[in-house]
Homo-oligomer: A and B are copies of this chain.
Amino acid sequence: MQLVSNNIREAMGGASFIRKMFEVGIELKKQYGADNVYDFSLGNPDAPPPAGAAAGLCKVAETANEPFALGYMPNAGYPETRGAIAGSLTREQGVDVPLSHVVVTTGAAGAINVLFRAVLESGDEVVCPAPYFMEYRFYAGNFGGVLKPVQSRDFTFELDVEAIEQALTPRTKAILINSPNNPTGQIYTRAELEALADVMRRHMRKTGKVLYLISDEPYRALNFDGVEIPSLFDIYEYTVIVGSYSKTLSLAGARIGYLAVCPAMPDPMELINGVIMTNRILGFVNAPAIAQKLLTCMIDEQVDLRLYRERRDAMAKVLDHAGIRYNMPKGALYFFPQSPIPDDAEFVNTLLKERILAVPGRGFGTPGYFRLAFCVPMSSIEKSAEGFARVVRSL
């Protein structure tokens, strides 16, 4: 008897390279011990949360036994939390973001889902530069939308704005970008984003319909070289920024993030009220109360960036030593190097002989590369060096 829908049955049967690596990893760790397996397959941030996490939870505990302390609140979140996020975004984006334009969400993943539920008609398209975070495809598909990946420029992963323009159709409802990028570590420049905005404005004039720019920014704080991360609120008025504190505060499991609507968007209340409603009817109801209160206490903190920068630099040395080509990631937690052989899946399988776990680029829509997550202990990075080198020599 079939217990799930055709669509979910098919999705469950599909190859998830990350899941496959996860299972292989468990097996290898059993056999060789966890210290002797170099697992670069998972992006679970391992920096300890800042000091405010414990202090903030104790503060939440102080009033936790009062009536309504953790009860229902407005679906958009506690006004204090919305205000704290709005203030933080105002500083970060360099644009005045009012509280009314911020909805507290169950992480960035929750934010994208409530936004898609609010705006997509069945058959609408979402254009997305590839390589891309593979969950995006499901988020659009949850509501009848279709993800349309467009390859970025080889190796550098800069936006190919002409190719994006060619992918736009009357059914395109949004372009979804992610900068700093998972899996490439790329940060888009102001020039790239302004060119994109020009294309989008032209398209809107042609169709007479809204074309959203959705900017997924969970890695914004992980910017290792201090390059500019331009504010899209400054560049394109139909922008919606989504973000989370999963990486900034190492709270990935706590599910706390936000959705912010561009202050320059004309008559935005239909959209804002729409996402507040879909946040409710998708069953989020409101972002988790305890995490909201905790965030209000620690909004100005962040994990120690040096920890990740040092690992990025160490990983670069390991790849240099092995002779593997890569574009240095400016942010996020990943390298996306070129596979030394054309078949990235075969290369990743070969790495397993050295107990190195990676994810092939085709898992992100871009074959010929592979992803390494460097949120792992420094010793793992250093100890993997000879393994990488041996594999490359053996090819």
Binding site for B on A (CB under 8 A): 1-9, 11-12, 42, 44-51, 53-55, 57-58, 60-62, 64-73, 106-107, 109-114, 117-122, 135, 138-139, 142-144, 209-210, 250-255, 266-268, 270-271, 273-274, 277-278, 280-291, 294
- B contact residues around A49 at 8 Å (CB): 64-65, 69-70
- Beyond the given pairs A1-B209, A3-B271, A50-B65, 13 more chain A to chain B contacts, judged by CB atoms under 8 angstroms and listed by A's residue number, are A2-B210, A3-B210, A5-B118, A8-B117, A11-B281, A44-B68, A57-B58, A106-B288, A109-B284, A110-B285, A253-B286, A253-B288, A254-B288
Q: Is the CB of B277 within 8 A of A8?
A: yes
Q: Is the CB of B70 within 8 A of A48?
A: no
Kindly report how many copies of this chain are found in the complex they form together. 2
Q: Is the CB of B273 within 8 A of A12?
A: yes
A199 to chain B, nearest CB (A): 18
- B contact residues around A55 at 8 Å (CB): 61
| A300→B129 CA distance, assembly (Å) | 49
Q: Is the CB of B72 within 8 A of A252?
A: yes
**Residue on B with the closest CB to A61?**
B57
| A64→B138 CA distance, assembly (Å) | 31
- B contact residues around A290 at 8 Å (CB): 57, 254, 288, 290-291, 294
Q: Is the CB of B70 within 8 A of A110?
A: no
- B contact residues around A252 at 8 Å (CB): 70-72
Most buried by B among A60, A138, A142, A283: A283
- B contact residues around A110 at 8 Å (CB): 283-285
| A54→B139 CA distance, assembly (Å) | 36
Can you report 12 A-B residue pairs in the complex whose CB atoms are below 8 A from each other?
A3-B210, A5-B118, A8-B118, A11-B277, A49-B64, A51-B65, A54-B64, A57-B61, A72-B253, A106-B106, A110-B284, A117-B142
- B contact residues around A273 at 8 Å (CB): 12
A58 to chain B, nearest CB (A): 5
Q: Is the CB of B53 within 8 A of A71?
A: no
If A70-B250, A72-B252, A290-B254 touch, does A112 touch B283 (CB 8 Å cutoff)?
yes
A104 to chain B, nearest CB (A): 11
- B contact residues around A294 at 8 Å (CB): 290
- B contact residues around A60 at 8 Å (CB): 57
Q: Is the CB of B119 within 8 A of A255?
A: no
